[in-house]
Chains A and B, each alone.
Chain A
Amino acid sequence: MSRLLVVSIGPASSVQDGGRPGSQRYGLTPSGAMDRLALAAANCLVGNELFAAGIEIGPFGASFTARDGAVRVAISGAPRNADVGGRSVALESSVTLKDGETLTLGFARGGAFSYLAIEGAIKGEAVFGSLAVNARAGLGSPYPRPLQAGDEFSVDAASGAPERRIELPKAAHGPIRVVLGPQDDEFDEANKALFLNSDWKISATSDRMGYRLEGPVIKHLHGHNIVSDGTVNGSIQLPGNGAPIVLMMDRGTSGGYPKIATVVTSDFGRFAQTSAGTPFRFKAISMAEAQDEARKFAKLLHSLPDRLRSTDTVALNIEALQDANVAGHAVNAVDAATWHGHAEP
């Protein structure tokens, strides 16, 4: 066994996996990774199950040191600088830390969460089949709380498997797609239009429970109280102040504010990665289209192993090069951290 020591880590970092659905009727929220595609890609790179437990790292920097042997890891998600002993490491690729080596991650640039997967996955005591941290319910393993410097994981020694990179689809831009309802009839047409046609920003007070949005005030037709009703990931609630709250992975399982719309499954991870202060819009799509996109997204997740490539062959990021030409400055097309946005279908 090797060990991985958390040398430094910012707030909003915790062990997450595919979550623990199945007990929402008892008030237990599923939790799990905010960006499932990014977690799955990182796991895939080190040969783990797609939704094995990894480390979800918030927007701030972090560093990890291998002890008692080598540790093989992979980083995916929000673009940020990564280096091992001063040597730059590409995102969306695996890297082996030799005994005593330190992986240093910078602040997220244009995103919120990165995922560190460890070959063999994080080990701990699963509750309802999950190690995901839900701090409010005292759940999560090996630490049932956000991570802090000094925490340590017992991990498998690196297998010596060749390093891999993964080719994810080109980053999607454009509005965050939603399906209206279940309580869109609590708003008149003008306020629904205001919701759909305005620029929104995610407030700095957001967390894994909910993202608070800043923008125009959305007015209710009949007041802001409804009898508590079930919630889902991506439910967009409108409390009395008219400022939407998008419910995220640590949401309450029920809520008493009208829900105007729901972020679609295929866009949830991209939405979760929106940086505080970056303007974005919503777009309503039909149920048929949303379900088609959800099926495509599931297909993408399960095709990740087919997208693995050897790190020996370097592919240039043509888009990054072209962008660089327009902007008139140099860019490292081999370093995924310099690419624009976060890859999603």
Chain B
Amino acid sequence: MAATFSPPRLLPSGDSAITVEYSRSIDDDANQSVLALDRALTDAAIDGVTESVPTYRSLLVHYDPGKIGYEALGERLLALAGQPAPPTAKTRRWRVPVAYGGEHGVDLEDVAKALGTTPDDIVARHVAGDYRVAMIGFTPGWSYLSGLEKSLQMSRRQNPRLLTPAGTIAIGGIQTGIQCLAGPSGWHLLGRTAVRTYQLHRNPIFLTEPGDRVTFFAVDHKTFAEQDRAAEAGEIIAEQVAS
């Protein structure tokens, strides 16, 4: 928490949700405040609140207007935001294997060229990062990570690809991420992981949560293929390490 408390803005998202906005930019302090308010809200168990969705910079709180009104819930949220943050549940740390380059990371060479270095150096910098799951959004398991080092930050592709593979590890703007399902993306593809952050009929169905820490390590393409088969059979693949 910052030393001086600046209250978040309350914004109406229709008649059944409130956006609690801490910042308009991607901001690690704001994200910590969002996750702290999310924990406080869970602890407070306010009647009528149905679920909350943390993002980089805001907490979206869904509620039932039959149980609590906008003004009353807004006051409760501001009060919770003004209190000291409840302690973080034990941080989980994941080590995620990535097969970099080649067919699995079709943009690695171009990224290296654009940044005036070699593919190996890009990989070395990417695996050196210590990332935090800032939010999960858009599609199941899509984990947006903060903590990308400045030298790897670059703007998104001019033309987004309509289809990128499941398990894609990519960089875009000041972020990196794990894209679980195949889908469109304007980010630069560095590699692929066999880790499924979302997998139906596996326990747990969702692997990562906002606030988790993530580091990557490189594996060769043969290892990826083996891991991918094991993951398909329901293995988690990502290593959970003590933090």
Contact = CB atoms under 8 A, between A and B. Distances in A.
B53 interface: yes
Of B138, B200, B209, the most chain A CB neighbours within 10 A belong to B138
B14 A228 contact: no
A137 interface: yes
Interface string B58-81: 111010011001100000000000
Contact of B58 (A27, A136, A230, A264): A230
B164 interface: no
A25 B136 contact: yes
Nearest to A26: B206
A229 B14 contact: no
A230 B19 contact: yes
Contacts of A233: 14
17 contacts: A21-B62, A23-B140, A23-B206, A25-B52, A27-B136, A28-B140, A136-B183, A137-B140, A181-B11, A182-B13, A228-B144, A230-B17, A230-B19, A232-B14, A264-B14, A291-B69, A294-B16
Contacts of A264: 14-15
Given A179-B14, A230-B60, A26 B198 contact: yes
A25 B210 contact: yes
Contact of B66 (A22, A24, A234, A295): A295
Nearest to A290: B15
Given A181-B13, A253-B53, A253-B137, A294 B200 contact: no
A253 B183 CA distance: 15
B181 interface: yes
Of all A-B residue pairs in the complex, the 6 with the closest CB atoms, nearest first, are A230-B60, A254-B137, A262-B14, A182-B11, A290-B15, A291-B65
Interface residues of A, number: 44
Given A228-B135, A232-B14, A262-B12, A24 B51 contact: yes
B222 interface: no
Contacts of B136: 25-27
A229 B55 CA distance: 6
A293 interface: yes
B137 A252 contact: yes
Contacts of A137: 139-140, 181, 198
A255 B62 CA distance: 16
B94 interface: no
Contacts of A231: 13, 60
A67 interface: no
A120 B200 CA distance: 26
Contact of B12 (A22, A27, A287, A293): A287
Contacts of A291: 15, 65, 69-70
